Each structure stands twice: as C-alpha cells, then as structure tokens.
Amino acid sequence: MSITRRARLALAVVSTALPFFVGTAMAQDNYKEKIRIFYETFNQNDASLLDQIIAEDWLHIPANTPGEEPGREGFKKLIPGFAATFKDGNLKIEDIVQEGNKVVVRSTYSAVQVGPFMGFEAKGRPFTIMTIDVHEFNEDGLVQTTWHLEDWLGGLFQMGAFEQ
C-alpha cells in the first residue's frame, strides 16, 4: 500500500505539532496539583513557598488586606502577620476545577483569633470561613493573576467581633 504525497505531508505536520500540544496539555494537567503549594504556604507559615507558585509581578484582585503591597514580595510580607493573628490555622482545599490555564479552588480556613484583626480585638474564638479563588497561570507555569473572595463577615460574626 503506498502512501500519497498529501498523506505524507499531513503526517509530517502532525508529527511536528504534536509535541507542542502534548507538552502544553501535560503542563496544564499539572496546574491542579501545583496550585496546592499556594495553600500550603498558609498551613506551613512559609512565605518562601510562594516563589514556586506565583509570578513576581502577580496581580491579586482585589488586594483585600489593608496595606498589601503589590506582587509576590508584597503578599509574602502578610504571611507572618496572618500566622500571628490566627492560631491553629488550617487552610483546606475542598474542590479544584481546571479549565485551560485557569484553576478554581474552593477552600475553607479554620483557626482561632488570637490577635487583633480588622480593628477587632481577639476573643479567642474558633471560626471557619469559605474562600473562592480563580488562579490564572502564565506561560511559565506560575500564577499570574488571582481573583479572590472570602467570607470574612461570617468569620467576624463567629469571632464575636460585633458583640457588645
């Protein structure tokens, strides 16, 4: 059976392009596992882990911590204060969904407030909040942008912040 010139050309094109598409798919398959590093940063109180997962010029939308400086280095500065304010913190991933280069994570954060937070003194109460993050990876396999929502209002009620 002879192969036509057109078939040989098609095979050449596919064999040249296939490694690119397979490599891209394999890199993206790793995003769901790789994003776990972001959450372990809080559990281990180790801001240096962020160097492995977020880009230097990372964009956090909204930058919801008062005084948060831009980029990876700005975010890293918040980790020690967070650990000092909340004892026994546990950030647990509940769900991870990936579509292309975006990974959505639903997580819960449980801790005990032991220091002032958002102007409210600690009452030593445990709380659990839910967070939703959409992380967008860049071509280098690092998170370039994170859209972040968290239920701090519910957490503040649990901590007794609004009690007289």
Report domain extents, the chain.
Answer: 5-159
Per-residue pLDDT of the chain (164 residues; tens, 9 = 90+): 556 666 565 555 555 555 544 444 545 668 999 999 999 999 999 999 999 999 999 999 987 666 788 899 999 999 999 899 999 999 999 999 999 999 999 999 999 999 999 999 999 999 999 999 999 999 999 999 999 999 999 999 999 999 98
Q: Which helix (H) or strand (E) holds 54?
A: strand 54-61
Q: pTM of this prediction? A: 0.81
Quick one: tokens of 157?
């009620």
What's the CATH architecture for 5-159? Roll (3.10)
CA angle 19, 24, 25 (to 5 degrees): 100
Q: 117: which DSSP letter? A: B
pLDDT at residue number 68: 81
What's the pLDDT score for residue 58? Answer: 97
State which amino acid sits at residue 56.
E
What is the Cα–Cα distance from 15 to 99, expressed in whole angstroms? 26
